[in-house]
Amino acid sequence: MDKILIVEDDKILNKGVSFALKKYGYEVISAYSKAEGKQIILNDKIDFLLLDINLHDGNGLEFCKEVRDKVDFPIVFFTANDTEEDMVKGFETGCDDYIAKPFSVELLKHKINAILRRNNSVNKNIFEYKSLKLDFNRMLVSIDEKEASLTATEYKLLELLVKNKGKVITKEVLLEKLWDNNGNFVDENTLSVNIRRLRKKIERDSKNPQYIITVFGIGYTFGE
């Protein structure tokens, strides 16, 4: 049974969502502050975090950034402000998705299920999507059962996108993650060159990609 932590200081909303998700078969823990939520994450095994952006004892974006490097479970924000600027900030801190208030619990359930399925699929040693196959243990990539010869940076880039399938990864995050083998920082031009080369190696039509998708003005995502 998946365990969901709700960090939301609106007690009525928190209890209502908790009650509904328990009826759907989830195990749910409620926290009403940033401090309480962080303590639960430290002491319990959580599979999914629902996090309000505006908490009375701190900012949800800061909370997400503080815990993202320490945990690998999905994080979805509750927000009353679903502007593009806020969404970009959320994705930069490491969230998986947003749901705007007010929302239906039925929609929330489907969003949780979809993200958990996606998260579970990329935690396996072998990842397959359409004609693409990645063997994480052996660091091998194949297209239509034929091995694709990737550079270390290209592989690292593809692996990062695959393991965050369904998320939008900003250019800033990619640049932070993609250091070359000599420890040199990769600039935006180098990132673009590696994206272009990677597409030529794994896409049937690099001008109409089905694997590495550009999200204009933000970054990249894996899959359609």
To which residue do tokens 């990132």 refer? 191
1 alpha carbon, distance to own chain's centre: 21
Of 74, 107, 122, the position where a domain reaches its end is 122
pLDDT at site 180: 55
pLDDT at site 185: 61
Q: What is the CATH number of the domain that holds 207?
A: 1.10.10.10
pLDDT at site 121: 63
Q: How far is CA 186 from CA 97, 151, 176, in A?
A: 27, 14, 8
Domain count within the chain: 2
The residue segments making up the domain with residue 215 are: 126-222
**pLDDT (tens digit, 0 to 9) for every residue of the chain, 224 residues total?**
789 999 999 999 999 999 999 999 999 999 999 999 999 998 888 999 999 998 999 889 999 988 887 787 899 999 887 778 878 888 888 899 999 888 899 999 999 998 888 776 665 678 888 899 998 878 899 998 899 999 988 999 999 999 888 889 999 889 888 765 555 666 888 899 999 999 999 999 999 999 999 999 899 999 86
pLDDT at site 58: 86
Record the pTM: 0.57
Q: Cα 122–99–64 angle (5° rounding)?
A: 65
Q: How far is CA 191 from CA 16, 92, 171, 185, 196, in A?
A: 44, 17, 8, 10, 9
Residues 28 and 83 reside in one and the same domain: yes
Exposed e or buried b per residue across 43-74, where buried means at least 16 C-beta atoms within 10 angstroms of its C-beta: eeebbbbbbbbebeeeebbebbbebeeeeebb
